[in-house]
Amino acid sequence: MASKTVYSDDSRLNELISDYKISDIAKIVGRNVLLGHADDEGIRLNNGRAGSALAPDLIRAEFKKLTPGRADFPQIADVGNLTYQGTLAERQNQALETVKSVYLNNHRLLALGGGHDHAFSDVGGFLESFSKKKPIVINLDAHLDLRPLIKSPTSGTPFYQLIERYRPFDFYEIGIQQHSSSLAHLDYAKTNKVKVYTFLQSHGHLRTIFNGLIKLAKNRPVFLSLDIDAFSSAYAPGASAASPIGLDPNEFLKIMPQVASKLNIQGLGIYEVSPPLDVDSKTSKLAAIFMHSFLLHAKK
């Protein structure tokens, strides 16, 4: 499934997506594997607004409408939405094994949530697969998502879970809104050497931040997690925890050519889009554009 030249006068990305079963991951020839987490139980358990279970399919639909942007835009193998039985914690661990199989077969992961609790599976599989290569995790988010795990995972616990299981690893949180971050969680981040860039430190300064990360990372593997609530509700009204302040997607898209081509990004996850809360599918479209821009410029 190597990249192929796009010939038609008005090609759309649906021409470059092939459907596979989860069981076919080992048979896929190509770089990019897309999967969805059509589940928002973690958001509901965190007392959030449900709806992101619908996001993977709607983001896919918007993505397929986009034009490639270059003749050799990479093909994508779509293995569908993961479906497992059991508690949320059990499903997280089952999904983590699937993610590891993506990396075992030398693919790059494109993951669509669903709640941010699914970052535990996506990032955990990444950390286990690249444990000997000093992996780096970057999270753009309004929230730290470092809530302690008490009874069950939630959309607020993924990075606490990851730190507790896999520390130490280099972890950067960008766009964090201080009015939505408890002092206890900030202290936990500091204790565990998480580098936190607040919203005020991030807005208007993404290029500087990512320039520093590029110098640091060199060719180390990176997982880039995008919680859509990192971006202002002016652009992302359909976020589970939308906020009137937030990052500007135009600023992020402006640096995407540099981010995607110079960082060794092995996994991209986009989470917490909530279509029932959206306006004219604006947020699903934004998520699709982020994925398009990443693939347009990413290392092959």
Query: Tell me, what's the pLDDT at 1?
Result: 46
- pLDDT tens across 114-172, in order? 999 999 999 999 999 999 999 999 999 999 999 999 999 999 999 999 999 999 999 99
- pLDDT tens across 27-44, in order? 998 899 999 999 999 999
- pLDDT tens across 6-18, in order? 445 689 999 999 9
Query: Tell me, what's the pLDDT at 30?
Result: 87
Report the alpha-carbon distance of residue 42 to residue 107 in Å, rounded.
27
Residue 67: both structure tokens together: 């034009």
Residue 17: both structure tokens together: 């997506």
Percent of the chain with pLDDT over 70: 97
- pLDDT tens across 203-241, in order? 999 999 999 999 999 999 999 999 999 999 999 999 999
**Contacts with 25 (C-beta within 8 Å, 6 or more apart), sequence order:** 33, 79, 98, 101, 102, 105, 107
Query: Tell me, what's the pLDDT at 29?
Result: 87
Domains of the chain listed by start with CATH number: 13-297 (3.40.800.10)
Does 69 score more than 70 pLDDT?
A: yes
Which own/partner contact pairs does 187-194 have at CB distance under 8 Å and 24+ positions apart?
Answer: 188/146, 188/160, 189/144, 189/146, 192/163, 192/167, 192/168, 193/168, 194/144, 194/146, 194/159, 194/163
Does 67 score more than 50 pLDDT?
A: yes
Q: Please, what is the average pLDDT of the chain?
A: 96
Query: Tell me, what's the pLDDT at 164?
Result: 98
Query: Tell me, what's the pLDDT at 8?
Result: 58
- Backbone φ and ψ for 147, nearest 5 degrees, come out as -65, 140
| Cα 9–chain centre separation | 32
Q: Calculate mean pLDDT across residues 271-277.
A: 98
Q: How confident is the model at residue 299 (pLDDT cuts 50, 70, 90)?
A: confident
Does 110 score more than 50 pLDDT?
A: yes
Query: Tell me, what's the pLDDT at 23?
Result: 93
Percent of the chain with pLDDT over 90: 95
Does 5 score more than 60 pLDDT?
A: no
Angle at 24 between CA 23 and CA 26, to 5 degrees: 110
